[in-house]
A and B are shown apart, each in its own frame.
Chain A
Amino acid sequence: MEFFLQLLVNGLSLGFLYALSALGFVMIFKSSSVLNFAHGELMAIGAFIFLALSAWAGLPILLAFVFTMIGSFTLGFILEKFFLRPLIGEALIQVIMLTLGLALMFRGLLLFIFGGDIHDYPDFLPEALTIQWGAINIPSVYVAAFIIGILFLILFGLFFKYSSQGIYMRSVADNQPAALSLGVHVRRVFALSWAIAGLVCAISGIVLGIINGINVHELSSIGLKVFPVVILGGLDSIGGAILGGIIIGLLESFTGGYISTSLREIIPYIVLIFILMVKPYGLFGLVEIERV
């Protein structure tokens, strides 16, 4: 029973990490329907900027965090401006391949600058966040991740629901020509959504870095793990991404605990194929109606 509970807690916290890393992905997909294969690398860039600023340059944590946010916001903006914009209207495969190429570029660059070793942040989270409940122990990083996740969910929910920019984004995602004819500045919406996605990626990268240590390979493999998560939840649903993340996290944790540790890495993809066979647009995804 205790083993079960520990697995449950592990799975939930892992799932929350996945959910957190899926947010930036859903963000991009929701406004520009681009499948971002460079997601893990974007997270790694954010994590490394924060590392360089906080541990190496010796800035105070809060200041380093703010600068990282500004940097990743700008990076997202630049990415959209120079790489994604020329591809508006191109075939899907071109866009997918472009993000794959960007992923290779970023990975090479990060490995060149920071090397393939695992780096660690200095400890800065207060110990008071640790939750000790019977035999179950939840480290403070997970609690912090949980708080950040909830905060994000609420913030983005409000952003998409009430702010004018959020409504523009939804309108662009829904029907681009209609949004254009109603006077929505579609290019600005794309740029903004990539910039925000860059920012979200950086935050999830930092949280993942605090928990597992920062490593380019690790983060880029988590970037691929995002696919089962978002497919499960439906590519354009933020709530679905959270739920999908938690389901995948639990699944991995229980498979690792009860069946075999090697199967753990692959089980999300097996489930993914079955889900797609039953519900082709994910559990909460918007069903596209096609006309000839």
Chain B
Amino acid sequence: MRKLQFHPCGNFNVSYKEELAIFDTDFGRLWMWIGMLLLFAVVPFISSAYFLYILNTIGIYAIAAVGLNLLIGFTGQISLGHGAFFGVGAYAGAILATRLGFPFWLSVPLAGVVASGVGMIFGLPSARLKHLYLCIATLAGQFIVDYVLVQWESLTGGAMGIVVPSASLFGLDLGSDRSFFYVVFICFVLMTWIAVNLIRTRIGRAFIAIRDNDRAAEGMGIPVFPYKLLSFAVSSFYAGFAGALYAYYMMSITPEPFNLGLSIEYVAMIIIGGLGSIPGAVFGSVFIVSLNEVLSMITEYLMNIGASTGVALTIAPLREFIYGLAIVLFIIFEPKGLAEVWRIVRSSFRLWPFSY
């Protein structure tokens, strides 16, 4: 058996291989396997249906957020159209399933491919634009996709939306929350694994070089524009994949949820989670989805107590306020996000009691 590795008291990497390692120590790998075991063998059986619903939503959002982090956090291309690509994926999945009768396992990845095509079209401006100009171009893309989803009635059903058949895989019905939990989280683990490893390849290094300084990257011989487009394509694939899962999970979709608000929510997830960190994207989606659920639970709770129904109706807009406040406070006080908090907590445990 290989000698187990423990944490050295500093960064003593002597080869590129060590630098690229995902887990510094065997303990990290062990904890990951324990976490996976808990996730798949324990969590689905002890949670209620409502909690499973929240977990599934978190899983779906986390897939899309990981994709967005590849684009914003690693390639440095700001996109305010991620919600639209998510919507394209949802509609592509629904249309493939209803019109063409594609099975679940085929229509979800194909929806991702369709979304990545659309994402590449709206990534085209990145050839000449950067920073805030690109951000505004993607904002325009968000509005245009929104418009197409509502107006192209013969394909999308307009404001009425589409009813999606229940998902089934190899003859198994995936209608229940628990069976869908497995689908969502197996996809999530797979997609996260791909993202983590993509960053360690030639492509990932090109992304990071472009983020840090695209002129310098070009000078070093990286074809900047193809890589930017690739980044848009990959991140939209993630969004579209998650969108199709969302469509199957919700059973019916309308254009309404895929608005600018959703795009903002995605950017908020990766900012609150931590830019340029894959676990950060996951933390962020956990935080945002939980915040949403807690806020709507409070309003619902007040709504159900007869005396405070009126109060609940008037304080409903305060949800938006608290949501905005959370984003603002995070940016001001912890700009590196939850990933940084997690790192600090972890290292303070590791270094205890000799923290210097």
Interface of A toward B, CB cutoff 8 Å: 35, 83, 86-87, 90-94, 96-98, 100-112, 116, 224, 227-228, 231, 235, 262-263, 265-266, 269-270, 272-273, 276-277, 280-281, 290-292
Residue B219 at the A interface, CB < 8 A? yes
Pair A96/B135 contact, Cβ less than 8 Å: yes
Shortest Cβ distance from residue B251 to the other chain A in the assembled complex, whole angstroms: 28
Task: Determine if A108 and B141 form an interchain contact, defined as CB atoms under 8 angstroms apart.
Answer: no
* A103: B residues at CB distance < 8 A: 324
Bound CA span A101–B321, Å: 9
For residue A80, give the distance in angstroms from its CB to the closest CB of chain B: 13
| Contact A94-B331, Cβ < 8 Å, known A105-B324, A105-B325, A108-B323 | yes
Do the beta carbons of A104 and B144 come within 8 Å of each other?
no
List of A residues within 8 angstroms of B137 by Cβ: 272-273, 276
Q: Which 8 A-B pairs have the closest CB atoms?
A: A104-B324, A108-B321, A108-B320, A111-B317, A101-B327, A105-B324, A269-B140, A101-B328
Query: Are A266 and B125 within 8 A (Cβ)?
Result: no
Whether, in the assembled complex, B147 has its beta carbon less than 8 Å from a beta carbon of chain A, the answer is yes
Residues in B with CB closer than 8 Å to A269 are 139-140, 143-144
Interface residue ranges of B171-198 to A (CB < 8 Å): none
What's the dominant secondary structure at chain B's contact region? helix
Do B323 and A276 have beta carbons less than 8 Å apart?
no
Contact A280 B331 (CB under 8 A): no
Q: Given contacts A101-B331, A104-B324, could you give 17 more A-B pairs where the C-beta distance is less than 8 Å?
A: A87-B335, A92-B131, A96-B267, A100-B264, A101-B326, A104-B321, A106-B324, A107-B324, A108-B320, A108-B324, A112-B315, A269-B139, A273-B141, A276-B137, A277-B125, A280-B133, A292-B219
A110 CB contacts on chain B under 8 angstroms: 317
Residues from chain A with Cβ under 8 Å of B322 in the complex: 108
Cβ–Cβ contact A105 & B215, under 8 A: no
Residue numbers of B with Cβ under 8 A of A are 72, 78, 124-125, 128-129, 131-133, 135-137, 139-141, 143-144, 147, 151, 213, 215-216, 219, 260, 264, 267-268, 271, 275, 314-315, 317-328, 331-332, 335
Say how far B160's CB is from chain A's closest CB, in angstroms. Answer: 16
The answer on a CB contact under 8 Å between B128 and A277 is yes
Cα A168 to Cα B264 in complex, Å, equals 34
- A285 closest partner in B (C-beta): B133
Q: How far is the CB of B238 from chain A (nearest CB, A)?
A: 18
Residue of A nearest to B315 (CB): A112
A–B complex contacts, Cβ < 8 Å, 30 sampled: A35-B136, A83-B328, A86-B332, A87-B332, A90-B335, A91-B275, A92-B78, A92-B131, A96-B267, A97-B267, A97-B331, A100-B327, A101-B326, A101-B327, A104-B323, A105-B324, A107-B317, A107-B321, A108-B317, A108-B318, A109-B318, A231-B133, A231-B136, A265-B147, A269-B144, A272-B137, A273-B140, A273-B141, A276-B137, A291-B215
Give Cα A112 to B320, complex, Å: 10
Q: A97, B327: Cβ atoms under 8 Å?
A: yes
Name the distance in Å between B334's Cβ and chain A's nearest Cβ.
11
Contact B72 A93, beta carbon cutoff 8 Å: yes
- Which of B260, B275, B320 has the most A CB atoms < 10 Å from its CB? B320
The listed residue with most A CB atoms (<10 A of its CB), out of B124, B325, B332, is B332
Question: What distance in Å separates the Cβ of B206 from its nearest Cβ neighbour in chain A?
Answer: 17
CB of B78 within 8 A of CB of A290, answer no
Residues on A with C-beta less than 8 A from B319 are 108
Q: Contact: B133 with A281, CB < 8 Å?
A: yes
Measured CA separation A35–B139 after assembly (Å): 13
- Chain A: minimal CB distance from B263 (Å): 10
**Distance between B43 CB and nearest chain A CB, rounded to angstroms:** 31
On whether the beta carbons of A276 and B318 are closer than 8 Å, the reply is no
| Chain B residues in 8 Å Cβ range of A277 | 124-125, 128
What is the bound-complex CA distance between A96 and B260, given in angstroms? 14
A270 and B144: CB pair below 8 A? yes
Residue of A nearest to B140 (CB): A269
B124 neighbours in A (Cβ, 8 Å):
277
Q: How far, in whole Å, are A54 and B268 apart by their CA atoms in the complex?
A: 38
Asked, given contacts A97-B331, A108-B319, whether A290 binds B133 with beta carbons under 8 Å apart, the answer is: no
Please indicate the chain B residues that have their CB under 8 angstroms from the CB of A273 in the complex: 125, 137, 140-141, 144
**Chain B proximity of A78: nearest CB distance (Å):** 13
- Contact check, A109 vs B327: say whether CB atoms are below 8 A apart: no
Question: Does A101 lie within 8 Å of B325, measured CB to CB?
Answer: yes
The residue in chain B whose Cβ has the minimal distance to the Cβ of A292 is B215
- State how many angstroms separate the Cβ of B355 from the closest Cβ of chain A: 27
| Shortest distance from the beta carbon of B128 to any chain A beta carbon, whole Å | 5
Contacts of B264 in A (CB 8 A): 100, 104
Residue of B nearest to A272 (CB): B140
Question: Bound state CA distance, A276 and B130, in angstroms?
Answer: 11
Q: Given A92-B78, A292-B219: A280 and B325 within 8 A (CB)?
A: no
CB distance from B171 to the nearest CB of A (A): 44
Min CB–CB distance B87 → chain A (angstroms): 15
Asked if A112 contacts B151 (CB within 8 A), the reply is: no
Q: How far is the CA of A105 from the CA of B135 in the complex (A)?
A: 22
Q: What residue in chain A is nearest B72 (Cβ atoms)?
A: A93
Q: Are B136 and A98 in contact (CB under 8 A)?
A: no
Whether A87 contacts B144 by the Cβ 8 Å rule is no
For residue B331, give the distance in angstroms from its CB to the closest CB of chain A: 5
A101 to B269, CA, bound (A): 12
Question: Roughly how many angstroms separate A105 CA and B331 CA in the complex, as a whole number?
Answer: 14
A90 to B319 alpha-carbon distance, docked (Å): 28
Complex Cα–Cα for A106 and B322 (A):
10
Q: Give A102 to B78 CA distance when docked, in angstroms.
A: 19
Contact B125 A98 (CB under 8 A): no
| Docked-complex contact B139 and A227, CB < 8 angstroms | yes
Q: Which residues of B contact A290 (CB under 8 A)?
A: 215
Chain A residues with CB under 8 A of B139: 224, 227, 269
Q: Which residue of A lies closest to B268 (CB)?
A: A97
Task: Provide the residues of chain B in CB contact with A106, threshold 8 Å.
Answer: 324
